[in-house]
Structure 1
């Protein structure tokens, strides 16, 4: 099982907002495929899957503010 973390997009980044998931539970995911959109105090960006497999769960809902490196 591969865990997905809130990425740290800069040295000063402490938290990010998960704007929306791009995948649904049960979807196939390929490594490096965009799986979510996040927003920091400076940018909005897509974050990529760390590995391939089936998307099993969402621990954080769209719109949540999450500390960096938290499993989401």
Structure 2
């Protein structure tokens, strides 16, 4: 199984960090590519993060309310081969 990193996206040109507002999935749950797994926000925008691959969400690295730098890994998916 390959591991796929889910990263904090850059929602705007000046965005340096984002806040995790909600996790739609829990660690251990199966996810489908394109399924919403989390909601994040910047100072101006709120956005949904979708699973990049089918697989299992094996680890959530940041809790709700955490402010995370753009590009940092927030979760790990164990992708199906």
Normalised to the residue count of structure 2, the TM-score between the two structures is 0.84
Q: Give deviations 1:23-54, integer Å, cap 9, x for gaps.
A: 01111111111110101111112111111100
| Superposed CA RMSD | 0.8
State how many pairs are aligned: 72
Give the match for residue 15 of structure 1.
17
Give the match for residue 54 of structure 1.
56
Give the match for residue 27 of structure 1.
29
Once superposed, which parts of structure 1, at least 4 consecutive aligned residues long, lie more than 2 Å away?
none
Is the radius of gyration larger for structure 1 or structure 2? 2
- Of Structure 1 and Structure 2, the greater strand share is in 2
Q: CA deviation at 1:56?
A: 0.2
In structure 1, the gaps of 5 or more residues are none
